[in-house]
Structure 1
């Protein structure tokens, strides 16, 4: 298992594990659903919605990895950096700095 001294070192590796456009689209869809689930929980004041957030986020991402990238999600080896990478990639795609 490789070690990264910082997120800055990790992120290029993270992107290399997300080369397939379908995988990136699935990550984007899952992250969008996470935001919608959190918004629904806040709007309805029902915390029970929140159990759907990891299901939506990881479910879509892992389908992308296992079915399209054919690799093992970075979450298994680098959970915190991977979570941060998901959101950095999401915002870069949203702002047009990274192709979906």
Structure 2
């Protein structure tokens, strides 16, 4: 469970915009609608519309609001599980919890950025040995 929590935190670093998170919810609703329509009409070929319905909204959220690449480009597993958890939390009224997590992660990232670097290139005594 700890590994999932760490992956979810990393996933949420790419989903800091509330508008982008709502675009993911809209995309999931569109995908469920497309799947339902395919089932009701008994036309399995319409299932090809399901990923397009989801990703058109989700990726628009990334490109317009986040100005970043979706996590799915680098870690599809984390993206899928992260999408499901985030969308479930949004749909069940837990957006405030997500906002607090994002704010916590941003403070954490700022604190790390303020820490002095300990790499060999930045440490005068180690530069020659590196």
**TM-score tier (shorter):** 0.7 to 0.9
Q: Name 2:87's counterpart in structure 1.
A: 90
Number of matched residues? Answer: 96
Q: Does 1:47 align with 2:36?
A: no
Greater RCO structure (CA 8 Å; 6+ sep): 1
Name the TM-score, length of structure 1 as normaliser: 0.86
The alpha-carbon deviation at position 81 of structure 1 amounts to 1.6
Over 3 Å off, 4+ runs: none
The alpha-carbon deviation at position 8 of structure 1 amounts to 2.4
Pick the structure with greater CA Rg: 2
Q: Name 1:60's counterpart in structure 2.
A: 57
- Find the residue that maps to 1:6 and give its secondary structure: helix
Name the TM-score, length of structure 2 as normaliser: 0.68
> Match for 2:14 among 12, 17, 20?
17
Deviations 1:28-72, CA, capped at 9 Å, x for gaps: 100111111111111111111111111111111111111110111
RMSD between superposed Cα atoms in Å? 1.7
Q: Does 1:33 align with 2:34?
A: no
Give the gaps of 5 or more residues in structure 1: none
Partners of 1:22 and 1:65 in 2: CA distance = 9
